[in-house]
Amino acid sequence: MTPPAAAPREKEDPWKPIQHLLEPLPSYYHDAVLDEFVRSERYPESIAYTAADNSPQAYQKFLWNLYRLVGDLRGKRVLELGSGPGVVVEALRRLGGVEAVGVEADLRFVEFARAHEVPLIQGTLEVVPGELAGKPFDLTFSHWFLDALAKVEIQSDGTVRYERRLNHIEELQVLKTLAALTPPGAWSIHATRGRIPFKDEEFRQAGFEIIEVNEEHTFIVLRKTAPPADTLRVEPSTPAPAKTGPARALGGAG
Ligand SMILES: C[S@@+](CC[C@H](N)C(=O)[O-])C[C@H]1O[C@@H](n2cnc3c(N)ncnc32)[C@H](O)[C@@H]1O
């Protein structure tokens, strides 16, 4: 008698862990961000545009790409640079078990996020924020940030003044910060609307291998292979002043 054929094993859906993020984003937090910064007309300036800029589809596409490249992020430590109000950070934390944190210069976004239990640190990324020095991440990323780098002055009360766009020397400082925050072996993934302002050679000098880049140079996947060249070393800054209490401990994410 021939043995019965093994029942076909049900294939596990590889996207299951992020399924709910890929449905038309019913994001309470994204909605709250729009209510606060866009629909309220409380902020008659560029912050409203910054908050309104990104459509749920753009975030979904980015989350999909993170998952496609890095896989299940649960149990991983991830950092978003220039997070704005932290919509991606919040979405990642909602997966459960992802220790996600963002850095953002603008206190209005930082305070709003913290009030919603989304852990953001205030800092400009021309230097390594003191709170993050020496903390290794499995993944660093940015969404619509690298092409929007600004000279931001953080005043003593934590409020900010946007002065101008960074020049290329200053942009390279941000690349150094990114390199310092991305340990060897970690991924670094970046999406922009305009062209990413760094040449392949500049990424390599910062210790990154280029794994994937699109033709428009608006999406790049990097893997840190080496410490940055000596000339790219940066010293950590002292923590930026915060008007509200201290940033939530990074270990509290999940
Ligand atoms: C276009 S927004 C994108 C926000 C967010 N990543 C998103 O996709 O919703 C760019 C953000 O970068 C921040 N930013 C610009 N220059 C910065 C700098 N030098 N240091 C820290 N944040 C900066 C701005 O305050 C702004 O919130």
Domain ranges across the chain: 16-249
Is the CB of 143 inside a 6 Å radius of any atom of ligand 1? Answer: yes
**Alpha carbons 148 and 128: distance in angstroms, whole number:** 18
- Quote the pLDDT of residue 201: 97
Please identify every stretch of the chain with a pLDDT value under 70, giving residue numbers as ranges.
1-26, 44-45, 53-54, 228-254
**Alpha carbons 119 and 102: distance in angstroms, whole number:** 7
**What spacing in Å lies between the alpha carbon of 234 and ligand 1's midpoint?**
20
197 forms beta bridges with: none
**Alpha carbons 51 and 113: distance in angstroms, whole number:** 12
**What spacing in Å lies between the alpha carbon of 14 and ligand 1's midpoint?**
31
From the CA of 193, give the closest atom in ligand 1. Answer: 1
Q: Which residue has the CA at smallest separation from atom 13 of ligand 1?
A: 82
As assigned by CATH, the class of the 16-249 domain is alpha beta
From the CA of 150, give the closest atom in ligand 1. Answer: 16
- Quote the pLDDT of residue 23: 57
Please state the pTM of the whole predicted model: 0.83
**What spacing in Å lies between the alpha carbon of 148 and ligand 1's midpoint?**
7
The pLDDT tens digits for 108-155 are 999 999 999 999 999 999 999 999 988 889 999 999 999 999 999 988
